[in-house]
Chain A
Amino acid sequence: MQNTKMTVKQNMLLKGIVLCIIFIAGCAADHTTLPESFVNAAQQSTHTNNWAVLVDASRFWFNYRHVANVLSIYRSVKRLGIPDSQIILMIADDMACNARNPRPGQVYNNANQHINVYGDDVEVDYRGYEVTVENFVRLLTGRTQNGTARSKKLLSDAGSNVLIYLTGHGGDGFLKFQDSEEITSQELADGIQQMWEKKRYNELFFMVDTCQAASLYEKFTSPNVLAVASSLVGEDSLSHHVDPSIGVYMIDRYTYYALEFLEKVQPFSKRTIGEFLQVCPKRVCISTVGVRKDLYRRDPHKVPITDFFGAIRPTRVSTERINVTLANEEDFVNDVANVQPKKEFKIIMEPQFTAELLK
């Protein structure tokens, strides 16, 4: 009896070891069989342009920090080269020119006024009441209403790396917009899936700074999405510090440290997304930063941060001679010289006051 038991056990162990060896061998074999070029190609960046959608979903003065959050990211992407025409900035309330702001036209990330994140050259595409869930989803999915201005459209294509940054007040599975409506994680996932189906992005980096932020990316199923959240489900995302001169919190912890990191990044720096994902350890963030990598095929430690925060413009350097037919300068001069002066005419205006009253 005992003998048979032993043999059965031994048998199983043997089988297990054999299986393990086969499996390991198989794995090793797999690695070697994959062509090197393919592995490398999968890690190469394949995008041709960059877009950023930056959303502050909170209204009211006490949410100053959310505006500072979104402007911090705006400042960074603009500094790293994404032009204003490819940044869609949504700000639900006006903090810079708010009557309560003692420094009109300025929004700072720090009570010591280190960085004016609002800057002197800012273009807000959606502001005030325009920041709604409907407009945000329409923007992502490219279903903007007829006649929408070009600057209010996300005109990305299959080669676009899109950065989506959201900040506001959230909860488990939703993010509030303007304190009156909310977007759920399912709606967000559906929107991104639709973007993928419509070939509106190549890779997508999703950042969210809100309470229980990780719940927002849980429903994602679309490929090539890398997501980072300032806090896990069940955790609050905390603000950094208060400025007594304005009486409200300046900025949230996660974005504060993200900006601190991004300030050191230059357009040609070798910093990677992998490093960026670790900017806010629990010791300083208090909340745990959540990361979702399973939909993303590249190793974040090999992805330059400028793939999402910078912009590329493909250029080829040529040492050869290039023939371009240009009109001669003389032609231009002659064109202008030969222009006949336009006929002057007298400008006569209608009476500027309604005649009926003077009768």
Chain B
Amino acid sequence: MLSALSTFLPPLLLLLLWTPLTPTAHGHQPDEQFHEELVVRPLAGDHVNTYFQFTTRWHYGDRNNLFHTQLTPRVIAEILQTYDVKELHISLTQGLWRYESWGYPIVDATGGAELWAWFSASNLTNDAVNKQWMQLANVFSGVLCSSLNFVDNTNSIAPRHIFRPQFMHHAGENGKQFVRYATLPREIVCTENLTPWKKLLPCGSASGLATLLNSGFVHNTKYHSLGVKVRTLCDHDDDNNCIVELTQTANLVYDLKLLEQSNTDFSLRRLFGMGLNGYCELATSSRIYAQRSEQGERFQLVPPPAFNVSSIRGGHRVSYGVYDIQQQFEAAAPDATRLFNIAWIGEKSAGGGRRLAVSALNLPPLYAHRYLLGNGQKRGRIATEIRNTHYEDLPVVLLELVPWYVHAYLHTLRIRNKAQQRREYATDVNDELPFKLLHYAPGKQRELPTHLEIGFVLPAKSSAMITIEVDYLLLKWLEYPPDANHGHYIGAAVISTQLPMGRNYSALPPEAHLFKDSFNASRPSYTLTLRTEALIVSLPTPDFSMPYNVICLACTVVALAFGPIHSVATKLMIVERQTTMPRNLLRKLIHKLKSRWGSKKEEATSVQETATDEKQQQQHEEKEAEQQESVICNEQKQANM
């Protein structure tokens, strides 16, 4: 009886719980809010960047309240209860963000999986953090269907300078803060990650902006990155007054040329395969921001946005057309079933041509590339090139995480510098840039990765080449992955800097949680984090089929050699004259007799010619050969007779 009823109860309970949550019912803001935002930015080279951000913010207050989750997924509340984690970032990315042509992303991520977390509590020890870190990775490997369980001490480090905490904790809590960072560059991102990621949303993929994220239209992009960020913010004065923020991001870059169309027009339907069917009923706000151009209109928006917002940030002006989806659908007739669509239609240029390319942005102030130098499978050099196109010096921090199977030598670390107009880097040691910061934790085979963090000031309009020499290790047989010849990855380097102005900069301010909070958020400086390419090294890889090949080859050689040697040693070669048999019966008889007599005569002559003992030995051998070899032909037998 109960079981039958229990199927009806949860929706009933949910209904009861949800009803009072709507903001209109109360004077004050509800403690738990959910916001969905979509930013569409046309990029240079017929690319379009779409950035989804789903933010759940829960002012839960007391830790005990974490037992009763509503909009926040239960798993997030549980990890806050179980572990001392205060801030967590996970990203799953496929593709490479092209800083030079696309500018800076709203949220930066490296290819594959990347995660870092801050832990803080009183009496927390380093070992306890290591343990919690691995357990946390295991939890999210299940939650996001990824192989994050491969995170362990052999690929995790505790960055010293590059990451700063973005959480707040009680002032009286004088516990130490611990950070852990790991990347899995080989990790694949596909629908199996998108599905559970969508399930963390209050509305799932049933309604709201998340309905636009369909696997077929997410994985045909040039770059796609899923992100999960969790952080807690506790009042400095009151430990029982806390907020948990869960920010889920999906950052996609579409190549319009791949969408098989003749012009640069695009629409939501074109990008995502379908229009918008509504908004998530649990959302406090549900908005789409369409970035307008700074230098004259390139696209006409159909339908026109509800209003425009202009943002000046760090001397950089950006305007957005804003669509409030809740208003849009409430204004529409209640029985309207049409899907909401926004089209970006290119303005006709003077020449009448439809195609009007989005001009390339000015080069961003700082960007970087990384590559491997040297040849062979024994040693090489990791080179990271950072370019400063700004007219001021920029402070730069670089984080390198070199896996244990690549051995880096600190004494070979060089930061060479060249002015923008120069072609070659200076080779003189005196011209090298000095370190301002250096943190180096040497790697240990099969135990620890090499952790290198360097800070230096990159002069204006110049670039720096950071090189370090490495040796590639020969792994043990079972340490090679099944596809050993694919190569091994070295994760991306993380670069952090402080920009004095906001050109190309679109990241959220650290204390904000919505995209709209970045409007007019001018600050004295902007912290920028970017990632380089991941590297792939081909370690010396043995030929795993070698033992099999050796056995096959050796056996073939032995077999080939044995046959002829054996027959040479045991058979007698005799040359026989070819005779033709006459047809007449009588003549045949005569011929046979003749031949018989002839052979006897031959034997007699051989007796005369050779020594008697020799002949006996020969005859003995012949008999043996007859017994052993079944393939002796008739003529030979005749001859022996």
Query: Which of A's residues lie within 8 Å of B, judged by CB?
Result: 59-60, 92, 94, 96-97, 103-106, 118-125, 127-130, 147-152, 178-180, 314-318, 320, 322, 324, 329, 332-333, 336-337, 339, 341-343, 345, 347-354, 356-358
Q: List 22 A-B contacts (CB under 8 A).
A: A92-B482, A96-B219, A97-B188, A97-B191, A105-B218, A123-B145, A124-B145, A127-B192, A130-B147, A130-B150, A178-B482, A315-B7, A316-B3, A352-B510, A353-B164, A353-B498, A354-B161, A354-B437, A356-B437, A357-B436, A357-B455, A358-B498
Q: Which residue of B lies closest to A318 (CB)?
A: B1
B159 smallest CB distance to A (angstroms): 10
CA distance A352 to B161 in the complex (A): 10
**Given A354-B161, A354-B162, are A105 and B216 neighbors across the interface (CB < 8 Å)?**
yes
A residues less than 8 Å from B166 (CB atoms): 349, 352
18 additional A-B residue pairs with CB within 8 Å, beyond A119-B191, A125-B145, A332-B16: A96-B191, A97-B188, A104-B219, A120-B191, A121-B191, A130-B149, A130-B150, A147-B138, A149-B143, A151-B143, A322-B5, A348-B168, A349-B511, A350-B165, A354-B161, A357-B161, A357-B436, A357-B457
Q: Is there contact, CB below 8 Å, between A105 and B190?
A: yes
Q: Is there contact, CB below 8 Å, between B233 and A150?
A: no
A residues less than 8 Å from B238 (CB atoms): 343, 345
B70 smallest CB distance to A (angstroms): 11
B16 smallest CB distance to A (angstroms): 5
Let me know if B327 is at the binding interface, CB within 8 A.
no
CA distance A152 to B262 in the complex (A): 46
Q: Is there contact, CB below 8 Å, between A129 and B150?
A: yes
Let me know if B286 is at the binding interface, CB within 8 A.
no
Q: Which residue of B lies closest to A179 (CB)?
A: B482
Q: Which of A106, A147, A179, A351 contacts B135 (CB 8 A)?
A: A147
Q: Is there contact, CB below 8 Å, between B142 and A315?
A: no
**Given A96-B219, A97-B219, A353-B498, are A59 and B192 neighbors across the interface (CB < 8 Å)?**
no
CA distance A147 to B190 in the complex (A): 24
A residues less than 8 Å from B483 (CB atoms): 59-60
Q: Which of A106, A347, A351 contacts B164 (CB 8 A)?
A: A351
A residues less than 8 Å from B19 (CB atoms): 332-333
Q: Which of A97, A322, A336, A353 contacts B527 (CB 8 A)?
A: A353
Q: Is there contact, CB below 8 Å, between B1 and A320?
A: yes
Q: Is there contact, CB below 8 Å, between B241 and A342?
A: yes
What is the number of contacts between chain A and chain B, taking CB atoms within 8 Å? 176
CA distance A347 to B147 in the complex (A): 35
B14 smallest CB distance to A (angstroms): 11
Q: Which of B4, B59, B215 contacts A120 (CB 8 A)?
A: B215
CA distance A333 to B22 in the complex (A): 12
Q: Which residue of B lies closest to A125 (CB)?
A: B145
A residues less than 8 Å from B16 (CB atoms): 329, 332
Contact with A along B132-171 (1 / 0, CB 8 A): 0011001101110111011000000000011011101000
Q: Is there contact, CB below 8 Å, between A118 and B161?
A: no
A residues less than 8 Å from B59 (CB atoms): 342
**Given A129-B481, A343-B235, are A353 and B216 neighbors across the interface (CB < 8 Å)?**
no
Let me know if B214 is at the binding interface, CB within 8 A.
yes
Q: Which residue of B lies closest to A151 (CB)?
A: B142
B residues less than 8 Å from A121 (CB atoms): 191, 195
Q: Is there contact, CB below 8 Å, between A122 and B192?
A: yes
Q: Which of A96, A314, A318 contacts B190 (CB 8 A)?
A: A96
A41 smallest CB distance to B (angstroms): 23
Q: Is there contact, CB below 8 Å, between A314 and B3?
A: yes
Let me know if B598 is at the binding interface, CB within 8 A.
no
**Given A149-B141, A322-B1, A357-B436, are A120 and B188 neighbors across the interface (CB < 8 Å)?**
no
Contact with A along B1-32 (1 / 0, CB 8 A): 11111010100000011011100001011010
Interface-centre pick from A121, A315, A322 (highest chain B CB count, 10 A) = A121
CA distance A151 to B510 in the complex (A): 33
B residues less than 8 Å from A151 (CB atoms): 142-143, 145
B486 smallest CB distance to A (angstroms): 10
A residues less than 8 Å from B497 (CB atoms): 353
A residues less than 8 Å from B218 (CB atoms): 105
A182 smallest CB distance to B (angstroms): 12
Let me know if B395 is at the binding interface, CB within 8 A.
yes
Q: Which of B20, B186, B482 contacts A333 (CB 8 A)?
A: B20
**Given A59-B482, A358-B498, are A120 and B214 neighbors across the interface (CB < 8 Å)?**
yes
CA distance A238 to B42 in the complex (A): 49
Let me know if B525 is at the binding interface, CB within 8 A.
yes
**Given A150-B142, A357-B397, are A123 and B196 neighbors across the interface (CB < 8 Å)?**
yes
**Given A129-B481, A178-B482, are A149 and B149 neighbors across the interface (CB < 8 Å)?**
yes
Q: Which of A59, A105, A148, A348 contacts B219 (CB 8 A)?
A: A105
A residues less than 8 Å from B482 (CB atoms): 59, 92, 129, 178-180
Q: Which of A119, A124, A353 contacts B525 (CB 8 A)?
A: A353
Q: Is there contact, CB below 8 Å, between B511 and A106?
A: no
Q: Which of B61, B139, B188, B214 contacts A128 (CB 8 A)?
A: B188
Interface residues of B in 41-86 (CB under 8 A from A): 59, 61
CA distance A123 to B200 in the complex (A): 14
Q: Which residue of B lies closest to A96 (CB)?
A: B190
B residues less than 8 Å from A348 (CB atoms): 168, 511
Q: Which of A123, A129, A147, A320 contacts B134 (CB 8 A)?
A: A147
**Given A149-B141, A345-B236, are A354 and B455 neighbors across the interface (CB < 8 Å)?**
yes
CA distance A333 to B190 in the complex (A): 43
CA distance A178 to B525 in the complex (A): 50
Q: Which of A92, A124, A336, A349 contacts B510 (CB 8 A)?
A: A349
Q: Is there contact, CB below 8 Å, between A128 and B147?
A: yes
CA distance A343 to B59 in the complex (A): 9
Q: Is there contact, CB below 8 Å, between B195 and A123?
A: yes
Contact with A along B161-194 (1 / 0, CB 8 A): 1101110100000000000000000111111100
Let me know if B220 is at the binding interface, CB within 8 A.
yes
Q: Which of B4, B192, B196, B215 contacts A315 (CB 8 A)?
A: B4
Let me know if B496 is at the binding interface, CB within 8 A.
yes
Q: Which residue of B lies closest to A127 (CB)?
A: B147
**Given A94-B190, A352-B510, are A316 and B241 neighbors across the interface (CB < 8 Å)?**
no
Let me know if B94 is at the binding interface, CB within 8 A.
yes
Q: Is there contact, CB below 8 Å, between A347 and B168?
A: yes
CA distance A316 to B4 in the complex (A): 6
Contact with A along B229-270 (1 / 0, CB 8 A): 000010111100100000000000000000000000000000
**Given A347-B233, A350-B164, A356-B437, are A324 and B5 neighbors across the interface (CB < 8 Å)?**
yes
B residues less than 8 Å from A315 (CB atoms): 3-4, 7
- 4 closest cross-chain pairs (CB), A and B: A149-B142, A178-B482, A105-B219, A97-B190
CA distance A314 to B6 in the complex (A): 12
B residues less than 8 Å from A127 (CB atoms): 145-147, 188, 192
B residues less than 8 Å from A333 (CB atoms): 19-20
B172 smallest CB distance to A (angstroms): 14
Interface residues of B in 384-402 (CB under 8 A from A): 395, 397
Interface-centre pick from B142, B145, B186, B235 (highest chain A CB count, 10 A) = B145
CA distance A178 to B3 in the complex (A): 44
Q: Which of B135, B186, B455, B457 contacts A356 (CB 8 A)?
A: B455
CA distance A303 to B470 in the complex (A): 63
A residues less than 8 Å from B436 (CB atoms): 356-357
**Given A59-B483, A315-B4, A316-B4, are A342 and B188 neighbors across the interface (CB < 8 Å)?**
no
Q: Is there contact, CB below 8 Å, between B192 and A123?
A: yes
CA distance A96 to B195 in the complex (A): 14
B residues less than 8 Å from A106 (CB atoms): 215-216
A34 smallest CB distance to B (angstroms): 34
Q: Is there contact, CB below 8 Å, between A152 and B142?
A: yes
B417 smallest CB distance to A (angstroms): 17
B235 smallest CB distance to A (angstroms): 4
Interface residues of B in 482-499 (CB under 8 A from A): 482-483, 496-498
Interface-centre pick from B135, B166, B216, B544 (highest chain A CB count, 10 A) = B216
Interface-centre pick from A333, A337, A356 (highest chain B CB count, 10 A) = A356
